[in-house]
Chain A
């Protein structure tokens, strides 16, 4: 497997949707290519960081205000 082929499969690895045969080839490449290992690990970390950090929070006060406005209009039939 080349680095380009590795890259084409990156999402399938991250999403755990490789067949066992392709996964074995992938692991083999990973074992001897430090660059691809870095790319895989840092891409995984990128996703994890965005998943675990709230970058646009909805403060309770604003949430309550928006919620009341929505429900008041729904009760009136919008």
Chain B
């Protein structure tokens, strides 16, 4: 198996490069380390896209297995994590297609909405709005709110703001242009803000 070259311009190769090289050299235990490092993120991304726990479990397994099988195709000109996320996003979309019996599913679905593009709810939030809910209630609010976003906005928000990919990495992962990622991110952020305002706005008559 070939050795990955460090990304041009980077002095220190990413630690994953060494792990990937070890796997390519036949050391399966190095893959164990990579799985442990990224399994939570991949599971979360899969669940955000499929919105189904069983599908997310299957996607997580399939994505790591596919990445292992295709490791020779990993060029090292992107991060291993970004490459893995791209596989997981594709697996998730395939899983959705199966569930919807062949209906086309893409990240361009339902994005022609103007909702939230112009902020309507201008009320300020309580100082620590999450304090008004217990953990389970808060998680439910956050889940329900993000699930209501159009798919194409939700994926961009999750990759960019929750999982910390850069705009460029998000664009590369989803096969979108940078302006498209930026436009979707703004609208996703504004729509989520608008929807969360229903729960977090400062109550009338409260002191602060």
Contacts and interface: CB of A to CB of B under 8 A. Distances in A.
Interface of A: 7, 10-11, 14-15, 35, 38-39, 41-43, 45-47, 49-51, 53-56, 58, 62-63, 66-67, 69-71, 73-75, 78
B122 A38 contact: yes
Contacts, number: 103
Q: Ordered nearest first, which 3 A-B pairs have the shortest CB separation?
A: A56-B47, A46-B193, A58-B43
A74 B143 CA distance: 33
B61 interface: yes
B138 A10 contact: no
Contacts of A75: 28
A67 B124 contact: no
Contact of A50 (B47, B123, B129, B161): B161
A70 B65 contact: yes
Interface of B: 28, 31-32, 35-36, 39-40, 43-44, 47-48, 56-57, 60-61, 64-65, 68-69, 118-119, 122-125, 129-130, 138-139, 142-143, 146, 157, 161-162, 167, 182, 185-186, 189-190, 192-193, 196-197, 200
Contacts of A47: 161, 189
Contact of A66 (B39, B44, B182, B192): B39
Contact of A71 (B32, B48, B122, B185): B32
Given A56-B44, A75-B28, A41 B124 contact: yes
**Most chain-B Cβ atoms within 10 A of its Cβ — which of A42, A58, A71?**
A42
Given A55-B142, A56-B56, A42 B193 contact: yes
